Structure 1
Amino acid sequence: MNKAITDGLVFNPPLFEDGLAAWSSQDGLPGSDTYATAGNAVIVPADQDFASCLELLKTEGTQKLRSMGRTPILTGCYLRVTARVKAVSGNFPAVRIGAYPIASNGSGISGLAQFGPDTQLAAYGRVETVTAIIGTGTRGGVDMGWDNRVANAHIGIDLTGPNGGVVRVDDITIEDVTGAYLRTLMDWVDVRDYGAVGDGVADDTAAFLAADAAANGREVLVSKGTYRLTDHVTFDERVRFEGTVTIPASKRLSLVQNFELNSYIDAFGDEEEGLRNAIQALFNFTDHDTLDMMGRRIQLTEPLDVQAAVFDKDTYANQRKIRNGQIDINGGPAFETTVVSASASYDSTEPRRLTNVQNIANIPVGALVTAGTGVGREVYVTSVNVANNYVVLSNPLYGAPNTQTYTFRRFKYALDFSGFSNLQRFTLQDIEFLMAGQSSGVLLPANGLIFHFKDCFFTGPKNRAITSHATGCQGMLIDRCQFLSTENTLRVQDRETIAFNVNKNDTKIRNNRANKFRHFGVIGGSGHIITGNHFFQGDNETLGQRSAGIVFAEAQAKTVFMSNYVDNCYLEWTNEFDPNPDFSAELSFGGLQIVGNIIFSSNVPSSYAPIHIKPYGAGHYINGVTITGNNFKTIKGQALNRVDLIDTTFATLDRARFNDVNVHSNTFHAVAKQFQNPITVPIVRGSAATNWEVDLTDFLPFGGEARVIQAVMPEGRVTNGGGATVWHMPYGVPQVNNDRQSVRLTWPEAVKGKVFVTARCDAPT
């Protein structure tokens, strides 16, 4: 810093040869005595050492020489005053720099230092250089450390010691030495002082490293310019960017002391480039496990390929996190969906492969696979083997023909992690994805464990909010996130967006909120815990259609679905990821617990049911389900006929094999037939009869058969036709009539009265 250069300020006092009226023998204030008419001062036009100079006879104890002009004193600015003096004759005085501080109103300020150190003259004709530093701070090396009351000063010299000596004084100079002086006093160093050029052409790598090494606890300043770096650069000290840097994609800039997004944006002069390089550093040094976006909104003009940004690795297992910011999609061609159609063959003995694939080189990894038949929901391309002409799928197909045409749609995602072959323990927290129908949200890595979404907003995804195209969803956590669809004005049946999908096991989906997607989640694998979520999918249609909020796509779900708010959508349980969907020797539909949920609908027809089982092949049955403590309620439309339904599009269930079906303690509002298992119902006969029958169709879950009579208990007397009490017990016959949903009690004689019968649709094991 040099104010004489940058701001054009004049610090030097006038030359002596311009007249002694500008020089005071007192403090330099207006009206003080000058040397213009003094008998002890004269201008010497030519001196062998000084050329023109002032010759002064010392006549006072402290002989003052002060400029009548005002030298500006600026906060943070340090001035070095220099006087060259020599003794000519008489006694030898001492010489020092003197200065009188004044306020902005011109008045003097007392109590501040007014002179520098003495220099004793000791020989005639020997030139002595006398200096002092003036500044607005009491730093080491400052001779006159003033405060911010000082606005100007009258500067000159003092002669002290014995009178009678004659001295000659060269013109006094004042320099702004702030830049040089504060290099060791200020808390920063500039990379330019260590050889950086900043022209975008010269290699400034070595200069950056040298500046960081020299900082020694101080901040490094990258001053204005464009600095080309050709190798890795790590700043161990804090760094501040006024200029910008360029660096190859294979090299990284690591900011150890200020590792946050703002610093990287400043460094690269571009939000997207700053975010890419910050992510690269996040994966490549161990001083920080979190990239803080500092609340910034970053506009993306193209999908951010995270693995490409990291560049030098495609596996990573240490905990890492990106948090606290917004990602705003600035839509354009880079976010357009890639669509490829190709004929391919399928064989269920290789359930995750398409073979003999036409046009295979154009099929992108991460593409959604659809076809005319046999492809379940959310099946993606996991990998493509061009050399051997096959495509690996995220899930098996459920009955695809030997050959058909498939469509591959590759959505584009704000953050695309698919380039990682394995990524574990990665977290996105407090990030809002502002997609506005321009892009999808996040594509997970191919493989991994415990990818965590925490307190994020997914607003307006074009196709998907979170996609797993392989097994990177293993153990995934989605906590307290908001999923806001861009299709909220569409009818349910016209929607296509999905909040998330799962292919592997052990996810935790907790306390999220989603509105008006086609599906909130399509969940393969097993071992999931889904709790505390609120997802709603209604529309304004009168008695309108509804779609599945959650699709459980594996028959053996092994999942707890508890304390959720299921709003105008249903739960659908399928085996659409089974390559041989007809039942064989595997476990059938089991392991699902639906406990303590609010299951609500409005303005729906009586045929609507909030729990569906949809077998994709014949012979399946229920082999373990718990549906307890739920609140089923509908308003405005028609009362529901019942809440359970078997979707027989492909097949029905084998009702005769139901096992371990626990349905009880639910509450119902505007539901005609309220399912329960076991079910206890009364049988009342007003006239004597030997056979008493009761139809349990309205109660048994999912059309189950009345397979077991557990108990028969009379209420009051059972009497014969003559009114005598009958003490005999009947025997029971389950699975009566064609639908096998009735039970019959047969008495030893014709009787009348009331009994309660408890029956089950499942047999004891």
Structure 2
Amino acid sequence: MNKAITDGIVFMPPAFENGLAAWSSGDGTPGSDTYAGAADAAYVPADADFGGCLELRKTDNVQRLRYMGQTPILPGCYLQVRARVKAISGNLPSVRIAGWAGGAGGNHLAGVVETGPSVALSSYGDVVEVTAIVGTGRRSGVDMPWGTSALYGHFGLDLTGPNGGIVRIDDIEITDVTGAFLRDMIGVVDVRDFGAVGDGTTDDSAAFEAADTAANGRRVLVPQGTYRLAQTTSIVSEIEFVGTVTMPVDAMLLLTKNFDLPTYIEAFGDEQIAFRKAFQALLNNSDHESLDMGGRKIGLTYPVDMQAAVPNRNSYSTRRIIRNGQIDALDSPHWNTTVVTSQASYDPNDSRKLKNVANAANILVGSHVSGNGVGREIYVREVNVAAQEVTLNAPLYDAAGAQNYTFRHFKCMLDFSGFDSLSKFGMEGIEFQCNSRASGIRVAQRGSGFSLTNCFVSRPKDRGITSMGGGCQGMLIDTCQFLSAEEGETVPNRSSIAINANANDVKLRHCRATRFRHFAVLSGANNLVLGNHFFQGDEIENGTRTAGIIIIGTYTSSTIAENYVDNCHIEWTNEHDNFPDFVNGFSFSAMSITDNIFLSGEVAQWFSYIVVRPFGAGHFLNGLSVTGNKFRSINGYIDRAERLDTSFGAMNFDRFADIHYEGNTYHGVVKQAANPLRLRHAQNTAAQVWTVDTDGELPFDAEARGIDAITTLGPLRGPGGAVKFATPYVQLQQGPNQRQVRANWPEALQGEIQVLVRVDK
């Protein structure tokens, strides 16, 4: 780089032979005295060493010689000022290169170094060369760093020391030596050339942006040093960090050409800080929709409060993705669960509030709540310390009055709960290595469209993905693996859950989960659970099995299809109802369980694959489709594939409606339920009333409330063996448990019939 060549800029001052009016005895500014006609200065046309030169008698303490012309100072450009001097007679002075720094408006730029190194003349007739380099940047070898505020200079030299001596001065030269400061003479712009100091204290923000502006397609270099950027700094050029930067939390580093995590790690020198600053830029830079981790693995020693990393935003709803890397929970006490036990009172009429909460200030938002009458996956959404109130994500089913509650705040590697709302945010191709120390992700309080795609959540301590509020609305979990930290534990001793959600429209698709207590707890409606494989067994014979999928809510309008449900079951419950008894509405409605593989081994005989667990009285099934499933128990039969858990409430069989339970296959299952249920009844002795027993093979061992058809198989015969033609009338819900139907004939007959019996009408 040489501006004299590339841009035609003239740096060299005129020779002395052109006249001394261009040379000042002052600072060189307009109006200052010149050496033209001065008694102590003369042009010497023929000197043995110099040719034409200036002869000058030293008469002032600092004898100045300054070119009257304005030599431009350009960012990134370095000038060498050179002079050759020899003493002729009299006292021997010292000599140094010097200049006057000019800024905007012709004003003097104070506070900068305006002189170079001083050299003493020690003999007569010997030529001494003095030089100094001036430029905008504070770089090694630069004698006069003037910064980016300098626009021009008046250059020359000073004679110091005793007066009376006579010296001769060759023509002063000013040349562009910027090439000496460039690495390998490539297209690089160094931030130091634009005033960056790199001392960790000086604000270098303006210097960075000035270098970026000047780059014009070249690469910006941040050399060794620590550069403080006190202001938000935007860089649109390619940038290389050898040194590092520091920034306040609220100041942003916005990189356009190098927007990837490896560059931010190089910039900040700390993986955790770099990740937060890169995420901050992701939500504040419209030029990029995703942050590429570049395959890097970063170690975390504490939970990352994602909202605190972006203090200028409490909500965000533009699509953003973090992809392609690993996040590792390192050994640290910051992952320890915060546990608080407090007494509080609960009123079912104010169903999402705990009141009179002792030690409310110690309870953290997002804490998991447990206590008598508290359903699964109840969390703290808000804490009002002044009112001593805690707001919950869902009601409690049986907790009226005062009692002690336990609040556990699980520590998540990435915690988005500080966002009031976060929508259309996702993670792709990330492995969360929780290492049994941390949970994975806590989603925002509100928002929609959070997604996790092609990710691994490995060994979470408590939760893989957890929601304390409505930030899971429309959540998309696709092609992910959830690997439990509790594989070595027996099923009853496990407590971790891969996924929980409270809001509607969750899509959970093509995932794999191993040996959690539960794979997913979904308490919203309109969920799609498709094509997943989740298994939760252990090595205990006749062992307990927990639910893989828990659907919480009555009208759920959800589909569970084409999953591999391995040594666990699907549970449907209403434990988040503050008044669980059925009063009005649809009750347990709109559920489709279709084309799944259900497999279990070495389980207790009472184990079932589909469990409905009502809380409160009067509930019923009103729209259930269980079709095309494959039920298989190995190493021991189970009684039935589906059952009711009546621990907290019984079903009203008289109101079952719209039950489709057909096309399923059974192996190792005693009672093979169907609706309609096809039964054959052979009446070997003539009787007028034939009793047909469903024998527990109606779904959920429910009552026989309807018949689709009765077909005679072969002739009906009377007592004498004569063939009879007769039609019966039917009585439903017969027998002690109303599981039988009766065919009433006009006379005593014997024969065989086929009956299609229903649990609904």
Paired residue secondary structure (2:214): helix
What pairs up with 1:206-217 in 2 under 5 angstroms? 206-217=206-217
- The structure 2 residue matched to 1:705, chosen from 692, 703, 706, is 703
Deviations 1:644-664 (CA, angstroms, capped at 9, x unpaired): 111111111111111111100
Q: Report if the CA contact (8 A) 1:425-1:450 is conserved.
A: yes
In structure 2, what is the Cα distance between the partners aligned to 1:182 and 1:256? 24
In structure 2, what is the Cα distance between the partners aligned to 1:178 and 1:314? 47
Paired residue secondary structure (1:349): helix
In structure 2, what is the Cα distance between the partners aligned to 1:458 and 1:181? 49
In structure 2, what is the Cα distance between the partners aligned to 1:306 and 1:601? 41
Q: Which residue of 1 aligns with 2:517?
A: 518
Deviations 1:663-692 (CA, angstroms, capped at 9, x unpaired): 000001111110000111111112211111
In structure 1, what is the Cα distance between the partners aligned to 2:242 and 2:744? 95
Deviations 1:404-463 (CA, angstroms, capped at 9, x unpaired): 111000000000000000000001110000011000000000000000011110000000
* TM-score normalized by the length of structure 1: 0.77
Q: Which residue of 1 aligns with 2:722?
A: 724
Q: Which residue of 2 aligns with 1:242?
A: 242
In structure 1, what is the Cα distance between the partners aligned to 2:221 and 2:606? 71
Q: Which residue of 1 aligns with 2:678?
A: 680
In structure 2, what is the Cα distance between the partners aligned to 1:332 and 1:586? 50
* TM-score normalized by the length of structure 2: 0.77
Q: CA deviation at 1:203?
A: 1.6
Q: Which residue of 1 aligns with 2:446?
A: 447
Q: Which residue of 1 aligns with 2:528?
A: 529
Q: CA deviation at 1:401?
A: 2.4
Paired residue secondary structure (1:552): strand
In structure 2, what is the Cα distance between the partners aligned to 1:465 and 1:505? 19
Q: Which residue of 1 aligns with 2:221?
A: 221
Comparing 526-535 with 703-712, greater Cα deviation is found at: 703-712
User: What is the one-letter code of the residue matched to 1:198?
Assistant: G
User: What is the one-letter code of the residue matched to 2:525?
Assistant: S
Q: Would you identify which runs of 4 or more consecutive aligned residues in structure 1 move more than 4 Å?
A: 175-178, 180-185
Q: Which residue of 2 aligns with 1:627?
A: 626
- The structure 1 residue matched to 2:749, chosen from 732, 751, 762, is 751
In structure 1, what is the Cα distance between the partners aligned to 2:444 and 2:316? 11
Q: Which residue of 2 aligns with 1:417?
A: 416
In structure 1, what is the Cα distance between the partners aligned to 2:611 and 2:722? 49
Q: Which residue of 1 aligns with 2:287?
A: 287
In structure 1, what is the Cα distance between the partners aligned to 2:341 and 2:306? 27
Paired residue secondary structure (2:309): helix
Q: CA deviation at 1:543?
A: 1.4
Change (3 A) 1:201 1:587: same
Q: Report if the CA contact (8 A) 1:415-1:443 is conserved.
A: yes
In structure 2, what is the Cα distance between the partners aligned to 1:525 and 1:195? 58
Q: Which residue of 2 aligns with 1:647?
A: 645
In structure 2, what is the Cα distance between the partners aligned to 1:587 and 1:182? 77
What pairs up with 1:15-54 in 2 under 5 angstroms? 48-49=48-49
User: What is the one-letter code of the residue matched to 1:365?
Assistant: V
Q: Which residue of 2 aligns with 1:368?
A: 368
Paired residue secondary structure (1:273): helix
In structure 1, what is the Cα distance between the partners aligned to 2:484 and 2:184? 58
Q: CA deviation at 1:183?
A: 8.7
What pairs up with 1:381-460 in 2 under 5 angstroms? 381-460=380-459
Paired residue secondary structure (2:513): strand
What pairs up with 1:602-621 in 2 under 5 angstroms? 602-621=601-620
In structure 2, what is the Cα distance between the partners aligned to 1:437 and 1:570? 25
Comparing 175-184 with 496-505, greater Cα deviation is found at: 175-184
In structure 2, what is the Cα distance between the partners aligned to 1:719 and 1:216? 103
State how many pairs are aligned: 602
Deviations 1:68-107 (CA, angstroms, capped at 9, x unpaired): xxxxxxxxxxxx9x9x9xxxxxxxxxxxxxxxxxxxxxxx
Q: Report if the CA contact (8 A) 2:696-2:739 is conserved.
A: no
Q: Report if the CA contact (8 A) 1:664-1:677 is conserved.
A: yes
In structure 1, what is the Cα distance between the partners aligned to 2:383 and 2:236? 43
Q: Which residue of 1 aligns with 2:329?
A: 329
In structure 2, what is the Cα distance between the partners aligned to 1:200 and 1:181? 22
User: What is the one-letter code of the residue matched to 1:417?
Assistant: F
Q: CA deviation at 1:697?
A: 3.1
Comparing 346-355 with 411-420, greater Cα deviation is found at: 346-355
What pairs up with 1:178-577 in 2 under 5 angstroms? 179-180=179-180, 186-371=186-371, 373-577=372-576
Q: CA deviation at 1:605?
A: 2.1
Deviations 1:379-420 (CA, angstroms, capped at 9, x unpaired): 000111112221110111112121111100000000000000
Q: Report if the CA contact (8 A) 2:289-2:321 is conserved.
A: yes
Q: CA deviation at 1:745?
A: 0.7
Deviations 1:600-625 (CA, angstroms, capped at 9, x unpaired): 10111221111111111111111110
Deviations 1:552-610 (CA, angstroms, capped at 9, x unpaired): 11111110100000000011110001110111113211111000000110111221111
Q: Report if the CA contact (8 A) 2:344-2:405 is conserved.
A: yes
Q: CA deviation at 1:247?
A: 0.7
Q: Report if the CA contact (8 A) 2:182-2:188 is conserved.
A: no
Q: Report if the CA contact (8 A) 1:656-1:704 is conserved.
A: no
Deviations 1:269-309 (CA, angstroms, capped at 9, x unpaired): 11111111000100111000100000000000110110000
User: What is the one-letter code of the residue matched to 2:303?
Assistant: P
Q: Which residue of 2 aligns with 1:660?
A: 658
Q: CA deviation at 1:356?
A: 1.1
In structure 2, what is the Cα distance between the partners aligned to 1:183 and 1:329? 39
In structure 2, what is the Cα distance between the partners aligned to 1:661 and 1:697? 18
Q: Report if the CA contact (8 A) 2:519-2:534 is conserved.
A: yes
Paired residue secondary structure (2:200): strand
Comparing 706-715 with 179-188, greater Cα deviation is found at: 179-188
Paired residue secondary structure (1:384): strand
Q: Which residue of 1 aligns with 2:90?
A: none
Q: Which residue of 2 aligns with 1:116?
A: none
Q: Which residue of 2 aligns with 1:149?
A: none
- The structure 2 residue matched to 1:690, chosen from 685, 688, 691, is 688
Paired residue secondary structure (2:227): strand
Q: Report if the CA contact (8 A) 1:183-1:189 is conserved.
A: no
Q: CA deviation at 1:366?
A: 0.2
What pairs up with 1:157-168 in 2 under 5 angstroms? none
Q: Which residue of 2 aligns with 1:40?
A: none
In structure 1, what is the Cα distance between the partners aligned to 2:416 and 2:298? 18
Paired residue secondary structure (1:404): strand
In structure 2, what is the Cα distance between the partners aligned to 1:690 and 1:674? 29
Q: CA deviation at 1:182?
A: 5.6
In structure 1, what is the Cα distance between the partners aligned to 2:176 and 2:230? 36
User: What is the one-letter code of the residue matched to 1:665?
Assistant: G
Q: Report if the CA contact (8 A) 1:331-1:439 is conserved.
A: no
Q: Report if the CA contact (8 A) 1:655-1:703 is conserved.
A: no
In structure 1, what is the Cα distance between the partners aligned to 2:431 and 2:707? 56
Paired residue secondary structure (2:273): helix
Q: Which residue of 2 aligns with 1:35?
A: none
Deviations 1:612-643 (CA, angstroms, capped at 9, x unpaired): 1111111111111000000000112x211111
User: What is the one-letter code of the residue matched to 2:686?
Assistant: A
What percentage of aligned pairs have identical amino acids? 48
In structure 2, what is the Cα distance between the partners aligned to 1:640 and 1:200? 71
In structure 1, what is the Cα distance between the partners aligned to 2:522 and 2:663? 27
In structure 2, what is the Cα distance between the partners aligned to 1:271 and 1:185? 32
Q: Report if the CA contact (8 A) 2:472-2:503 is conserved.
A: yes
Q: Which residue of 1 aligns with 2:97?
A: none
Comparing 460-469 with 392-401, greater Cα deviation is found at: 392-401
Q: Report if the CA contact (8 A) 1:464-1:500 is conserved.
A: yes
